[in-house]
Every structure is written in structure tokens, then in C-alpha cells.
Amino acid sequence: MRTSPTWRITRVVLLVLFGVFFVIPMLAMLDFSTRDVGGGRTWQAWANLVEDPTLSAAIIRSLLLAVLTVAGMLVLLVPTMVWVRLRVPQARRLIEFLCLLPLTIPALVIVVGMRNVYAWVNYLVSDSALTLTFVYVVLVLPYAYRAIDSSLSSIDAVTLAEAARSLGAGWFTVIVRIVVPNIRSGVLAAAFISVALVLGEYTIASLSHYDTLQVVIALLGKSAATTSVAASLATLLFASALLILLSFVNRARRDVEGS
Amino acid sequence: MSRYGRLTPSLALLPFLGYLVVFLLIPTITVVVGAFQEDGAFSFVNIEALFSDTALRALWKSVLLSGSTAVVGAVLGALLSYLVVTSPPTSVLRRAVTSVCSVLAQFGGVTLAFAFIAALGFSGVITEALRSSVGLDIYGSWLFGVPGLILVYTYFQIPLMVIVFLPALEGLRPQWREAAVSIGATTWQYWTQIAIPMLRPAFLGAMLLLFANAFAAYATAAALVSQGNPILPLLIRSALTSEIVLGRHNLAFALAFEMIIVVAVVMTAYALVVRRTSRWLR
């Protein structure tokens, strides 16, 4: 369209400016986290990720939380969504509305109101940071719902289910062995994005006084700044790797569907 | 089939619905009901406390922060989207920008606060570079107050804008431009009379989404702001953790209720605008 030299130069200059704005804070983190007191470089802050007992415990706790949240999300959401497709299509709008609701109700509001519910959770289950799983499942619902829904829309679940049923399969077999393998990419996407969200979550964990990764990072910021910056950058890189991997999964799916 | 037989499949949805009632609806209802109670009895004192100087100032600063970063984020994000959309869909640039944006839009929080402290803090990379090269000291308390928040929030608002606005820009078909040019329109006329009016609802909708996003954000501010509670989310924190602020026990509920109202109004407006957009851009 517009290919005048001025436009081409302006375009490159603007892209470089955007690039600089987004890259500088990341590079600053890398530089800051490898600084040595007397000048020069050290990787001690990065070594602290595994050596510092508080930090490594928090990393393990958050990873466990991520795994439990994914498991909870899958158990709660996948059978429900498949069932709605197959047997109660009239409930689809309701389920969609409920799943997207956490986008409108901020996490901060949920944490303010959840004290009563969590008094019961702590009484009935336990008073461990892992109980955050219950509320994290709600938090990841909108993103998980979208990922699974787009995958489910691309297959003819009703016909698949009818074929399986006519061959004598029960509903459990239909869902677990027929439908789920066909929406694998959507389920995988939902799992990835849930892990990324749980690893980055701070609001609910800090206000309910549980020491998850982000809470410990924020605390370390006051005493061991370089370590906390290293941990921040490491989590960001890990989440980026997950989400970029996810974009490859999506692309592979689109290619398969396109052919 | 009997009435009972038709209802049976719906029963399988009960675990899901029950879960959401317990972990989403009950907390929300607790907030709304708690906002109108004090010491277990119905009362308006907490709602009245929302109109105290402290609470109004926090609300105003929050609106200022969300509004300014929504406008700046929307304008710059739209510009970046345009730069990206003019390159072919398969280009490395386009893939890289969309991937990076999806990470940065969703993964802000504490990390971003530290990133900016590492860059602009007392011994930050940029601070030291400017100090030693041109003798300029940019370090100051501005970074840990509302001006700093505006800068840091912009960092996640631009990527969110790209994600939301890129599909709308992609929906702008080259044929429309060709049609306009073939009947003698100039580039200026094409933009002012066709492209901008068509994109306006998508742009406004995205801006509303950005506003709600910034208004409800908590983690970055909690990690960055060192003194006082300049914005609504931080006032909620202090009401929640120190139990009594402004002499009210249930103030946290009232402040959270205020946040629900603002976000709900903005998101409803967003839904209405988007419904109009989807008529044009498919």
C-alpha cells in the first residue's frame, strides 16, 4: 500500500522505539540481578533460587499449586463443558456467562469476600497454602473456558458421541476416551495458561497471608533485592516459554485444521 | 419423556454450579451485603465513609491512573498494532509481537514493579547511566507514587491493547481502501471518512477494557508504592489488613463494593460497544 521511503523509515524508527521501551526493563533486571557488590558480575542471586530455603520452598509450593489448579480446573470444567454440548445445549449461555464472570469480578473483590468461605475450607480441609487451589480454579476459568471452547467448537462432538453410544460406550467412556482426546490441544492450552496465571498470582495469596512464590519475591525485595529480581525474571521467562510454546500448539492445530 | 427424565441431564451440572456459588458468588455477595452492615446490623455508615476525603481521593487517583493509562495505552497500542498489521501475517515480526504481548499483558504484577525499580530505582541501570554520562539524576520518589504507576501500567496496557485491537485492524479489508481510491478518495479521506469511523467502536471498547484492567490491578501497585495508599486497591488492602480504617470495621467491603460497581459499569459499556463492532468487522 504505502511504500514511500519516509513511511518505511518512520515505521522502522517507531518499531525500534517500541522495542527499546519493552526490552529495557527486562535487560535492567538481568543486569541488576548479576551485579556484584564490588563491581563485576556474579550469578549468586540466580544460585539463590535453589540455595535459599525460603525461596526454593515457595517455588515448590507455587508449582504444586499450579499442578493442583490445573487438575481441579480440568475435573470441574472439561466434563461440564462436554456434557453441555452433548446433553444440555440450552445451558450453554449460562455456563459461558459464569465462566467469564471472574473477568468482571476483580481478584481483589474475591479475596475481600472470601473470608467466610475460607474459614470453612481451613476447618474442613486444612490451613495450608495449597487450599488456594479452590479459588485459583475460579480465577483461571475465563481463560481455560475460551481455550477449551474453541477446541470443542472445531469438532462434531454430538456425532462422535452418538457413534460411540451406538457401539455400546457409556457416558464416562464417551467423555474420557472419545471427546477429550479430540480436544487435546484446547485442554493443553487451558493447562498452560493456568500454570502461567497461578505462578504470577500475588493479590489473593498475599492478602490471605500464604507464602507463594510472588509473595516471597515481594518480601525479598526489601532484604535481598538482587535475589528477588532474579526470581522475578526467572518466573517471567518460564511463563513466556509456556505461553510461546502454547502459540506453537495453536499454530499446529490451525495447520492441521486448515489442511 | 417425563419431566423428570428431561431434567436428569441438567443435574450433572450441579457440581460445577455449586462450586461457582461457593467460591465466586458467595464471596461477591458477602462483599455487597457487608458493605451495608456494621457490627452485624444494617447500616449506611460504610457507604457514607466512601464519600470521606480519603476514600474520594483514592477513587479519584484510581480513575486518573486508569483513565490516563487507558488513553495512552490505547493510542500507543493501536499504533503498534498498525505497524504490525502492515507486515504479512506470517512474518517473524508479527509472530514475535503477538507472543510477547500475550505474555506481558497477562503476566504483570510484582515482576513489573521490580523491572522498573531495576531500571529506574536508586541504583537502577538507566539512573546510573544518566548520572555518569550527563550528570542528570532522574531518581526520585515519583517512581513510587502515581506518576511511577502510570509509567509501569502503560507497560502492560500497550500489549493488552495490541491483543484486543489487532483483530479489529485485521478486519479492515483492503478492498474497502481500493474501492475508496477507485472513486477518487485520497489517503487522508480514506482514513478520516472510512477507516477511523469503522474502527472507532473497537477502539473505544478496547479503551474501556484497558480502564477496567488498570482499575482492578493490585499487585504492581502493592509492590511498587512505598508510602500511603494513594489508589483504591491499596486503600482496600489497608482496610483489610489493619481492620479499622476511618473507624469502620466493614470499610473493606464498602470499598470492594465500590470497585465492583465501577468495573461492572465499565464492562457493561464494553459489552454494548463490542456488540456494535461485531456487526461490521467479522
Whether A192 and A140 have beta carbons less than 8 Å apart is answered as: no
Closest Cβ–Cβ partner in A25, A27, A243 for B99: A243
Geometric angle at alpha carbon A196, from A190 and A199, rounded to 5°:
135
The pLDDT tens digits for B228-238 are: 888 999 999 98
Asked if the interface predicted TM-score (ipTM) of this complex is over 0.90, the answer is no
pLDDT, residue A3, reads 64
The stretch A17-30 carries a mean pLDDT of 92
pLDDT at B1 over 50: no
Could A202 and B218 be called an inter-chain contact, meaning their C-beta atoms sit closer than 8 Å? yes
Contacts of A48 (CB under 8 A, 6+ apart): A55, A224, A227, A230, A231
pLDDT, residue B29, reads 95
The stretch B254-279 carries a mean pLDDT of 88
pLDDT, residue B176, reads 85
pTM given for the model: 0.89
Cα A74 to chain centroid, rounded: 13
Name the closest residue on chain B to residue A25, using Cα atoms: B115
pLDDT, residue A242, reads 85
Name the closest residue on chain B to residue A118, using Cα atoms: B23
pLDDT, residue A223, reads 85
pLDDT, residue B9, reads 84
Geometric angle at alpha carbon A143, from B18 and A73, rounded to 5°:
45
Closest Cβ–Cβ partner in B26, B110, B263 for A217: B110
Could A107 and B126 be called an inter-chain contact, meaning their C-beta atoms sit closer than 8 Å? no
Could A1 and B16 be called an inter-chain contact, meaning their C-beta atoms sit closer than 8 Å? no
Residue whose entry in the numeric block shows the C-alpha cell 539524576: B137
Could A28 and B125 be called an inter-chain contact, meaning their C-beta atoms sit closer than 8 Å? yes
Neighboring chain B residues of A76 at a CB cutoff of 8 Å: 15-16, 19
The stretch A37-54 carries a mean pLDDT of 86
Q: For the CA atoms of B45, B47, B52, B54, what is the dihedral angle to 10 degrees?
A: 110
Neighboring chain B residues of A221 at a CB cutoff of 8 Å: 110, 114, 117, 223
pLDDT at B6 over 70: no
* Cell, residue A13: 524508527
The pLDDT tens digits for B190-213 are: 888 888 888 888 899 999 999 999
pLDDT at B247 over 60: no
Instruction: Give the C-alpha separation, B233 to B121, whole Å.
Output: 23
Could B107 and A240 be called an inter-chain contact, meaning their C-beta atoms sit closer than 8 Å? yes
Neighboring chain A residues of B95 at a CB cutoff of 8 Å: 247
* Cell, residue A138: 475460579
Instruction: Give the C-alpha separation, B20 to A72, whole Å.
Output: 13
Instruction: Give the C-alpha separation, A217 to B111, whole Å.
Output: 9
Residue of B16, B97, B272 to mutate for A, most A C-beta atoms under 10 A: B16
pLDDT band for position B124 (cuts 50, 70, 90): confident
pLDDT at A59 over 50: yes
pLDDT band for position A255 (cuts 50, 70, 90): low
pLDDT at B217 over 70: yes
The pLDDT tens digits for A1-18 are: 556 788 889 999 999 999
